[in-house]
Amino acid sequence: MRVYMQIPASEDRTPRFYHLFIQRDLLGGWSVVREWGQQGSGGRLTREHFEEWDEALAALINTREAQINRGYRVVFFEGQHPIG
């Protein structure tokens, strides 16, 4: 699952992005990866490990909602529940 969000540029602010995605990790669990920063430059990156898909999905949804409340807009969304 992947969510890409942006805050558009304004007179006093450069455009910003927030990118969230879930990926399977080498430990058999799931990682929620968060990247954010100014559009057009490298951002900050964090990863958080979860044992279960449902926990990772809940963390992604909570983060997405928090960023929407801060003014971000969802630009791109893709994903589905993992198979197998």
Residues 52, 32: contact at Cβ < 8 Å?
Answer: no
What CATH number has the domain spanning 2-78? 2.20.140.10
- The 10s digit of each residue's pLDDT in 40-69 is 888 899 999 999 999 999 999 999 999 999
pLDDT at 29: 95
- The 10s digit of each residue's pLDDT in 15-25 is 999 999 999 98
Beta-carbon count within 10 A of 54 CB:
11
Beta-carbon count within 10 A of 42 CB:
8
If we measure between CA atoms, which residue out of 5, 2, 27, 30 comes closest to residue 16? 5
pLDDT at 11: 83
pLDDT at 83: 42
Exposure pattern of 17-41 as b/e (b: 16+ CB <10 Å)? bbbbbbeeeeeeebbbbbbbeeeee
Residue 84 has pLDDT above 80, yes or no: no
